[in-house]
Amino acid sequence: MNALLDAGHYAILTAMLAPALLMTATGSLLASANARLARVVDRLRIVIEDWKHATANDPSRETRMRRHRRRAHLVLRACQMLYMALGCFIGTSLALAIDAFLHYRFDVLPTALALLGVAFLLGASLLLGMEVSLSVRSFDEELDDEIRRHHR
């Protein structure tokens, strides 16, 4: 009887490994997204300082500021989705353990939480992809501005 109980505990722990791996991946993405958000905010502060000290009105500066603000909001929403995904994966792991102890009465709750977590991961990935595109577009415009300035 004890051997049967031990096998059940191992099965529960094994089932809890998949959400744990997803938690690790989500945590890694979250650390990266937070670093990106910090870089975007720092870059926006530099643009604001440049604007304060500029003499000529440069419409491209306003475009850059709007783009950096958009980038910051995309990364912020991605971070929020990653936190939601993390919560779903923690909930999945907990629901699997509780479900096993309650003789599998939760039905689809662990699976639903896992699917919701994966959906949040997908959403966050799409938002971060959009932010990268804006980042490259901003960089290209800044390079074009510098090239024009040097050719005058």
Mean pLDDT computed over 103-109: 84
Could you list the beta-strand ranges (E) of the chain.
none
| pLDDT, the chain, mean | 85
Over residues 29-78, the pLDDT tens digits come to 999 999 999 998 898 888 888 878 776 777 777 888 888 899 999 999 99
Q: What is the DSSP string of 11-53?
A: HHHHHHHHHHHHHHHHHHHHHHHHHHHHHHHHHHHHHHHHHHH
Q: How is the chain split into domains, by residue range? A: 2-150
**Looking at the whole model, is its pTM more than 0.95?**
no
Residue 3 pLDDT > 60: no
Lowest mean pLDDT across 8-17, 79-88, 101-110, 139-148 = 8-17
- 109 Cβ neighbours under 8 A, 6+ residues apart: 95, 99
